Amino acid sequence: MLTPSTEREELNVNLVRIGLIGTGGMAKWHAKRFKEIKGARLTACCDIVPGRAEEFARKHGIPAAYTSLEEMLDREPLDGVSVVTPDHAHAGAALAAIRRGLHVMCEKPLADNLQDAKKMYRAARKAGVLTAVNFSYRNAPATQRAAELVAQGRVGRVLHVEGCYLQSWLVGKYWGDWRQAEGFLWRLSVRHGSLGVLGDIGVHLYDLVDFVVGPFGVLNCDLPVFKKDPPRVGRYVFDANDSMLTTVRFCNGAHGVLHASRWATGHANTVALRVYGDRGALDLNLDRPAEGALRMCAGRDVDACRWQSVACLPVPDTYQRFVTSIRTGRQGQTSFEGAVRIQAYLECSMAAARKGGWVPVRA
Ligand SMILES: NC(=O)c1ccc[n+]([C@@H]2O[C@H](COP(=O)([O-])OP(=O)(O)OC[C@H]3O[C@@H](n4cnc5c(N)ncnc54)[C@H](O)[C@@H]3O)[C@@H](O)[C@H]2O)c1
């Protein structure tokens, strides 16, 4: 363990001090983004793998590192934490921080089951702490603008929706070799708390669609586990779903088809959504450069089937929103409450896949 950060740093009352829980692959982005936010600082980090947090701390200039979360929370004067562990460990880490009155930003999905997600939400509400969930794609300027346009009725009554989230790391090595790295292996294994492609990237798509179109009413879902070579590596048995096809009836009467896969050759990380209303349509594709990420066909363009790019203003991301909410004391756009609804969609998707039929959404 390095020295606790207070012993080296003068107390700055305006500084928002964040502790990072989990220092694996995604933690790099948390370190980068919190470093870029003026007045926020990662003052400590922890990871259960001995030496990993220390190495991460050295690399990213974080003053203190721990292998024990409890020790970090006991010793470090923090305002909030960011939970970046594998999904199954989100609940334990977040609840430990909430017990100490700390604000919590958590990676998606909020938990690996609905019961834990609700427990986290209720504990945060009871403790009066602020929460955020890193549904990254909701923070794209094009997503925020699309949600505004739908809410303003610019495409009329939404009727038909198609959305996808496509990756190809089970076919190619764009992100690395899935057979070699723990960060891929736990994602393929139910026993390691993974909800498969559904919980890993389907959850982003569900949040994005819920944000732009509105809440889901009933859904049907197919979640196959395609054969892999090899079928296991060490203690990791590859039994988690790796493609997802979901059909949704939204509460507002629209219907949609949403799909996600790790087998989508040629797509490193494609997130796209089309929303068709009775007066126009939106085409969001986060693979395109920011200035062309959102297109609309509406008004006079409808008859000509002509699409025009829509200008989108920059928006804060989850990291900025979390720091702002700690500074102002006001809950930001994503919260544990909203994430419980998304967790319910995951639970319903699994129930529908087991049943082979439609399931009503109940949070
Ligand atoms: N928002 C996004 O776009 C996005 C992208 C990638 C990953 N994620 C999410 O981030 C989380 C982490 O994913 P990753 O790819 O970094 O995984 P990873 O396996 O690379 O890293 C997880 C780290 O957490 C550590 N850890 C495990 N249990 C712990 C515990 N109880 N306390 C402290 N540390 C613990 C592991 O040792 C590991 O170093 C997941 O929930 C994942 O879904 C989000």
Task: Categorize the per-residue pLDDT at 12 as very low, low, confident or very high, splitting at 50, 70 and 90.
Answer: low
SS3 222: strand
| Measured CA distances, 57 to 23, 32, 54, 72, 294 (Å) | 9, 12, 5, 13, 38
pLDDT digits over 151-200, tens only? 999 999 999 999 999 999 999 999 999 999 999 999 999 999 899 999 99
pLDDT digits over 37-48, tens only? 999 999 999 999
pLDDT digits over 333-362, tens only? 999 999 999 999 999 999 999 999 999 998
**112 C-beta closer than 6 A to ligand 1:** no
**30 C-beta closer than 6 A to ligand 1:** no
Nearest to 211 by CA among 119, 310, 140, 117: 140
Cα separation of 248 and 257, whole Å? Answer: 6
pLDDT digits over 283-330, tens only? 999 999 999 999 999 999 999 999 999 999 999 999 999 999 999 999
**86 C-beta closer than 6 A to ligand 1:** yes
pLDDT of residue 50: 97
Mean per-residue pLDDT, 100-119: 97
- pTM for this predicted structure: 0.94
Cα separation of 302 and 132, whole Å? Answer: 38
pLDDT of residue 14: 80
**47 C-beta closer than 6 A to ligand 1:** yes
**334 C-beta closer than 6 A to ligand 1:** no
**185 C-beta closer than 6 A to ligand 1:** no
Mean per-residue pLDDT, 265-273: 98
pLDDT of residue 13: 55
Nearest to 160 by CA among 243, 304, 258: 258
Token pair of 227, please?
């054969």
**CA torsion sign, 20 to 21 to 22 to 27?**
negative
pLDDT of residue 6: 45
Ligand 1 centroid to Cα of residue 22, in Å, is 6
pLDDT digits over 215-229, tens only? 999 999 999 999 999
**81 C-beta closer than 6 A to ligand 1:** no
pLDDT digits over 21-39, tens only? 999 999 999 999 999 999 9
Pairing of strands 255-261, 80-83: unpaired
- Percent of the chain exceeding pLDDT 90 equals 95
The amino acid sitting at 220 is N
pLDDT of residue 363: 79
Which atom of ligand 1 lies closest to the CA of 24? Answer: 21
Which atom of ligand 1 lies closest to the CA of 200? Answer: 43
Domains present along the chain, CATH in parentheses: 5-136 (3.40.50.720), 137-315+335-360 (3.30.360.10)
pLDDT of residue 177: 96
Task: Categorize the per-residue pLDDT at 95 as very low, low, confident or very high, splitting at 50, 70 and 90.
Answer: very high
